[in-house]
């Protein structure tokens, strides 16, 4: 089966959402990255909940993001801290935002995806988790700072 470019983009977007969920789950459980990856691949990608079928995600992208977020968590968290107001270190953030910044930071660190695309995609993920909040503007500002630091040549 050949996928269209639009379908590939949707699957990559779904993988980003799943990566944030997986990183959140790892922080709140004693599960390893391998256990969480297996659970998501076996039970989340394309699953049906309450009659709604979830989108399949880009498996390779999902694995790359969560592996990089785990392997480089300390430098990603430090980059996030530098983008935050001094009195708000990453440890004080909502755990969903922490997971989002780790996933986005991993992608900014390792990806050939243009930083502006990474920012837009993760702002969309923030909108999915916080549809009524100011978090999307906050996420946009923090990711813009992180992207300019990680990949200044792309701006």
Q: Which residues of 36-72 are buried (b: 16+ CB within 10 A; e: fewer)?
A: bbeebeeebbeeeeeeeeeebbbeebbbbbbbbbbeb
Note the pLDDT of residue 144: 96
Q: Where are the domains of the chain?
A: 5-154
Residues 6 or more apart whose CB falls under 8 angstroms from that of 41 comprise 59
Q: What's the whole-model pTM score?
A: 0.89
Note the pLDDT of residue 82: 92
Beta-bridge mates of residue 48? 53
Pairing relationship of beta strands 52-53 and 48-49 according to DSSP bridges? antiparallel
pLDDT tens track, the chain, 155 positions = 567 778 889 999 999 999 999 999 999 998 999 999 999 888 888 766 666 666 788 999 999 999 999 999 999 999 999 998 766 777 789 999 999 999 999 999 977 889 999 999 999 999 999 998 889 999 999 999 999 999 998 88
Fold of the 5-154 domain: N-utilizing Substance Protein B Homolog; Chain A (1.10.940)
The helix/strand/coil state of 52 is: strand
Q: Which two tokens stand for residue 58?
A: 């880009």
């Amino acid at each position: 089966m050949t996928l269209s470019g639009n379908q590939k983009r949707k699957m990559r977007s779904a993988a980003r959402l799943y990566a944030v969920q997986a990183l959140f789950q790892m922080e709140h459980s004693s599960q390893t990255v391998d256990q969480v990856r297996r659970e998501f691949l076996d039970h989340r990608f394309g699953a049906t909940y309450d009659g709604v079928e979830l989108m399949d995600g880009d498996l390779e992208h999902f694995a790359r993001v969560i592996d990089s977020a785990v392997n480089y968590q300390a430098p990603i968290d430090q980059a996030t801290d530098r983008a935050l107001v001094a009195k708000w270190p990453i440890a004080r953030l909502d755990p969903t935002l922490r997971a989002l910044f780790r996933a986005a930071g991993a992608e900014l660190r390792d990806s050939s995806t243009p930083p502006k695309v990474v920012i837009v995609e993760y702002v969309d993920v923030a909108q999915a988790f916080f549809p009524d909040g100011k978090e999307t503007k906050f996420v946009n500002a923090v990711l813009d700072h992180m992207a300019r630091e990680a990949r200044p040549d792309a701006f």
